[in-house]
Structure formats: structure tokens, C-alpha cells
Amino acid sequence: MKKSIFILVSCLMLFGVKTFSQQALWGGSDIVSPEVHADNTVTFRVLAPDAKDVRLTGDWVPSGDWTPATVELKKDEKGLWTYTTEVMSSDLYSYSFFIDGLRSNDANNVFLNRDVSTISNIFIVGNGVGDLYKVNKVPHGSVTRRWYDSPGNDMTRRITIYTPPGYETSKDKYPVLYLLHGMGGDEEAWMALGRASQILDNLIAQGKAKPMIVVMTNGNVVQEAAPGESSLGFYKPISRLPHTMDGKMEETFPDVIKFVENNYRVQADKSGRAIAGLSMGGFHSLHISHYYPNTFDYIGLFSPAIDPIGDANSPVYDDAEDAIRTQMQNGYKLYWIGIGKTDFLYKDVERYRGQLDGLGMKYIYHESEGGHTWSNWRNYLTDFVPQLFK
């Protein structure tokens, strides 16, 4: 009997060792970080007994220009470092630690986002707009990654598509929002950083937005897909890629529309199409809507870049004022511009608004606090979507 028990225990130990090498069933820590309290303060914790200095940086911590600011954690007798914030406004936040000067993610938080080549932990503070970014108990849409043929770019490319709750069982045709990312982003950006599917699910459930299809493209026309999702395999993402703002994206955008309208039940006319984007995606949305001036009834520019980079030589950017006049003559239902007061593109947007005013073009302008941030762009999407397809 004793021998049998010994053999059984030995087998279990061997099985456990083998399994541990394949799947992380054990280990981890009981430390909770971050801990979001009922009063919307947040506590961060790091166990680092040998560290001399532990600091925290986050997108809510005031910073100078492009340099991240930090706050200092306090160490207890067991080597646990702790910091508790003041009351935070409702939002989705990202953060990282610096342990003796070395940037580190929070080992106790498995939730991360990639922004270009930077990986940061994330958390949500609720009791406000942050609740729109949560997965709530409402009907959910579907998110698929599709591959479409792009003859204009001579390749097959990846795209992310959100279909609203009930699409699969319905026979209805739906309007489409084409939602574009900023420089360094890709077809994953609005899903991961922008929480687009959660925002749409929640706004539709609240009756604040019409059910719609959302098409999230990859605006880097030299890429098949997001880093790690193409035939190039795993490589370090970079921000500035060729042909991002030289007209190629705008010229080949009909490839996207053709794929969507051939494969989905959509309202394939101007009144059923919207286009919006942030930063570089705002630039693309601006110029696509001008270059194809009878294609979209709804246009959204979120912290948009305005001018082509360098010596861009494309018909897309020719006769800009004539293109705006044509767009005005063809008619549209919404031209929406949002920018933060401290955004580095603020002056460019101000100049562009002056141009629109001089031509008599009507638009809605939303000026927010803050700068060139995902916090603003999620808010802009939340404001923009309920105004579509009315």
C-alpha cells in the first residue's frame, strides 16, 4: 500500500513538473495591483525587497512635453512598495513602473495594451465615462479580422470589422462607419486602445446610437497587417512608415469600400456611410472625404493632422479649396472636428477651421481639455457615434 502511494505521488510530481513547463497553472502572487477603490482612488503595489527606488508613471500623471513624469512609491518592512492616487476621474488608464530606473510592467496585472512599440498595463475607473469602456451585461456585437484584396496596393490586407448585436440573425442592411487610426497604429488600435466594440455595444444598448457596422482599417499601406499578424512574422513596430501621408492610402481606399459592400449587408449609399479617424487617421478622413466628395454624409476629424508630410505629390491634395466647395455643393449631414486645448496640432486645426469659415462650410467643433491622447479620442468617438445616421 505504502509503495503504491509512493508511486502515485511520484507520478503526480512528475506530471506536475511536466505540466508546469507547458502551462502556468501554479505560481503568481496574492498581491492586488492596481486596486480600484469605491471612491475612485487607486492603489498600486510592487514587491521589490532589494530595490532602492520604485516609481510610477501613467497617462494621468502630469508630464512636461513628451517626457513622462513619475510619482514615488513607499516601501514597507517586507519590501512591498505602495502608492495610492487621489480621486481619479472615470476613464481607461495606462501605466508602467520604473524600478531603480528600469521601466517595468506590473507583474500583478495581466492586462496590457500595445501602442506602437510600447507595452503598458491598463485599468478602468468606473462611475462615469469609463463604464462605456467596460464589457457590460448588454447584447454584444461580433468582431472579426478579415483579409481583403487591395489591387491598388498589390496585396491582400487585414481589416477589423465590428458587426452590431443581431447582425447574424437579421436581414436588415446597416450603415457603416469607417474608423481610422493614427500614426504607428494599425487595424488593432481602435479595438485595443480605443475600446471601440465596448463603446458601440454600450451606446447601442442605451439607445444612444443606431446599430452600425464599424470598419477599422490599417492605414499603413505598405503593411499586410499589424505587426505579428502578417507574413513578416514578429518584428518591432515603428511609428513612421512609407506612404502613410502621401496620398496612397486615400487613392486606394475604394478597395476597402468595395470589399465591405460586396461582403456585408450595408446601406451602400452616401447616407449610410461615415468616416472618422484620429491624428493621421483624421488626416486620411479629411482628404478621403474631399477626394471622394459624394461618398460620405458623416465626417469626423479627431485631433487631425491637416497637411501632407514632405513633398507629397498626389492628386489627392490638389485644389483643396475646390474639393471643399464640391463637398459643400454635394451636401453632407455632419462635419465634426474635435481637438484638445494642449494638442500639438491645435494651431493647425485652428488654421483649418479658419479656411472652412472663409468658405462658409458648416461644421461642429468640440474643444476638450488635454492633448493628443487616447482619453480624448475615446471621448470623441463616444460623442460622434450618437450623431450618425439620423
Strands (E) in 100-211, as ranges, are 102-104, 112-115, 118-125, 142-150, 155-163, 176-180
Is residue 99's pLDDT more than 70? yes
**Helices H, strands E: what count in the chain?**
9, 18
Average pLDDT over residues 288-312: 92
Per-residue pLDDT tens over the stretch 142-185: 999 999 999 999 999 999 999 999 999 999 999 999 999 999 99
| Interval 249-265: pLDDT, tens | 999 999 999 999 999 99
Residues 200-216 have a mean pLDDT of: 98
Residue 6, pLDDT > 80, answer: no
Q: What's residue 15's pLDDT?
A: 47
* Tens-digit pLDDT profile for residues 209-236: 999 999 999 999 999 999 999 999 999 9
Q: For residues 347 and 340, what is the distance between their CA atoms, to the nearest angstrom?
A: 11
Mean pLDDT of 21-31: 65
Q: Which amino acid is at 179?
A: L
The secondary structure of residue 69, as a DSSP letter, is P
**Average pLDDT score over the chain:** 92
Look at residue 14 in the predicted model and tell me its pLDDT: 46
The average pLDDT across 356-375 equals: 96
The fold of 133-387 is: Rossmann fold (3.40.50)
DSSP helix/strand/coil, 302? strand
> Quick one: cell of 32?
492586488
**Closest listed residue to residue 159, CA positions, set 68, 221, 87, 92:** 221
Q: What's the average model confidence in pLDDT over 196-219?
A: 98
Task: Work out the percent of the chain whose per-residue pLDDT is above 90.
Answer: 85
Give yes or no for residue 139 having a pLDDT over 80. yes
Q: How far apart are CA 219 and CA 370, in angstroms?
A: 25
Nearest Cα residue to 284 out of 215, 181, 175, 192: 181
Are 35-127 and 133-387 in the same CATH fold? no
Q: What's the whole-model pTM score? A: 0.91
In this prediction, residue 12 carries a pLDDT of 42
**Is a pLDDT exceeding 50 seen at residue 20?**
no
Provide the pLDDT for residue 68: 75
Residue 10 clears pLDDT 70, i.e. is over it: no
Question: C-alpha dihedral over 201, 204, 208, 213, to 10 degrees?
Answer: 90
The model's confidence at residue 64, banded by pLDDT at 50, 70 and 90, is: low
Angle subtended by helix axes 374-384 and 196-205, to nearest 10: 30
For the chain, domain boundaries:
35-127, 133-387
Q: Class of 35-127 per CATH? A: mainly beta
Contacts for 12 with CB less than 8 Å, ≥ 6 apart: none
Q: Choose the weakest-confidence range: 124-138, 302-316, 331-345, 354-368.
A: 302-316
pLDDT reported for residue 126: 97
3-state secondary structure of 305: coil
- Cell digits of residue 313: 505629390
| Rounded average pLDDT over 330-338 | 97
* 106 vs 116, higher pLDDT: 106
Helices (H), the chain: 2-20, 189-192, 196-205, 248-251, 253-263, 280-291, 320-330, 346-359, 374-384
- For residue 202, pLDDT beyond 50: yes
Q: What is the pLDDT of residue 185?
A: 95
Q: What is the mean pLDDT of residues 16-22?
A: 48
